[in-house]
A and B are shown apart, each in its own frame.
Chain A
Amino acid sequence: MIMTILYYILTGFIAFLIIWNLLKSKKWQEEILYIIILMPFLLRLFRLK
Chain B
Amino acid sequence: MALARAVAAPRTLAYALWAWRWHLMVQPDIGVRLAVSEEAER
Do the two chains belong together in a single complex? no
